[in-house]
Every structure is written in C-alpha cells, then in structure tokens.
Chains A and B, each alone.
Chain A
Amino acid sequence: DSGVTQTPKHLITATGQRVTLRCSPRSGDLSVYWYQQSLDQGLQFLIQYYNGEERAKGNILERFSAQQFPDLHSELNLSSLELGDSALYFCASSVVAGSVQFFGPGTRLTVL
C-alpha cells in the first residue's frame, strides 16, 4: 500500500459526460501528479500541483482540468468525454517536486 488513495476504482460512463476523479496523497506529501495510461499511449503525464499551486502541465487536454485543495487532496475533472478517454488514470504524490513518487491504485475509466 503506497498510502495514496484514489476513488472511484472503476467508472463507466457515456460519451459527452463529465466525471471527477479524486486523489488523496500520502500524509505529508505536498506534490500531486496525474497520469493517464492507455494501451497505445503508455504513461502520459497530465499535470502536477505543489501545495495547491499548479507547477507543470503535460499532455493535458483542454477538456480536462484539475485542482489541489487546501487539505492537499486533488481532483481531476474530465468533461465532454470521448471514447478515446478510456484509460487508467493514476495519481501520484511526493514530498517535494522531483522526489520519489508514490502511485495510487488508479481509476479505470471506461467511456461507452
């Protein structure tokens, strides 16, 4: 158990819908990262937050947004969902930016 929790574990929804994925980092970790993993795209970095502030953006679509709250948990919002958004979404946390990341178990999103 990495100490990072993600909810829900599985999510099935329809195209055009909006979903919210939630992540609670390890106690004491200030940095939160979001990744998307699909079969054909590998592990794609989406976005990183540090102590509530956005620090880096990767290949994140405009339909996606995220935030980190004062209690350090983070949410990833995916809207206008498309079939191609079906993937595993991982959250990771680290004490500071660039240190060892601890990954959550992931949320498997299926868009039908």
Chain B
Amino acid sequence: AQSVAQPEDQVNVAEGNPLTVKCTYSVSGNPYLFWYVQYPNRGLQFLLKYITGDNLVKGSYGFEAEFNKSQTSFHLKKPSALVSDSALYFCAVRDMQAGGYQKVTFGTGTKLQVIP
C-alpha cells in the first residue's frame, strides 16, 4: 500500500532564511509526487509535481522540491522564505492500484510559519 509521511506538524523559519518541508513516501512502483499549499480558509493549490526526469523540480512561487529515490524523499524547499509563504503544505503520492486505477494519497500536512 502506498503512503506518504510528513514528519513535522509545524516548521518555523525566519523571513529570508531557506526553508525545507519534509516528505517521505512509500509506493510499490514508480512514484508520482505532488506538493500542494493551503492558505487560510482556502482550498488546496497545486505547487509542483515530480513524474520522471530531473530530480530537482521547480514550481510556483519560487518553490522547488528535491526527489531522492534512495531516501524515498521529496522535500519542499525555498531559498528565501517570505512571510506570505506561511500556510499549510501537503505532500501527495500517486500510485497504480489493482485494476489500473491511479490513487492519490495526501500527507497529514505541515504548517509553515515564517517569522518576520
């Protein structure tokens, strides 16, 4: 069974500092990985995805994520955090199920707090 773990409930970082939000996954086949962001009182928004190819994926709002197959990780990163990046971040993994159905599983979310 596929799964995704976000080991930190909350990450605090000072404005201007680099940020990392961690995600590890477990799938039976090749992973398709996603990051979503949720601002207060809003629905989730797609940030970026990894399907294949370059291990460093660039996404919206200056975010990027590094795919590491040996560590089964897909950490979200940004070189310089902004206060406006404060939000809830979800990692998700897609895997093939029996019968050819593609299932997406979301992590529990990590709250990012950027401190001015």
Residue numbers of A with Cβ under 8 A of B are 2, 4, 42-43, 45, 55-56, 90, 92, 96-106
Q: In the complex, which residues of chain B have a beta carbon less than 8 angstroms from the beta carbon of A90?
A: 43-44
Contact present for A101 and B109 (CB under 8 Å): no
Q: Is the interface of A mostly helix, strand, loop or mixed?
A: loop
CA distance A99 to B44 in the complex (A): 14
Contact present for B46 and A105 (CB under 8 Å): no
- The yes or no answer to B45 lying at the interface (CB within 8 A) is yes
CA distance A14 to B90 in the complex (A): 32
Residue numbers of B with Cβ under 8 A of A are 32, 34, 36, 41-46, 49, 90, 94, 97, 101-106, 108-109
Contact pick for B109, options A4, A43, A106, CB 8 Å: A43
Minimum C-beta distance from B31 to chain A (A) = 12
Contact pick for B43, options A4, A42, A45, A96, CB 8 Å: A4
Contact present for A100 and B101 (CB under 8 Å): no
In the complex, residue of chain A having the shortest beta-carbon distance to the beta carbon of B6:
A42
CB-CB under 8 A for A106 and B32, given A55-B101, A56-B103, A97-B101: no
Contact present for A101 and B42 (CB under 8 Å): no
CA distance A70 to B106 in the complex (A): 28
CB-CB under 8 A for A100 and B46, given A43-B109, A56-B103: yes
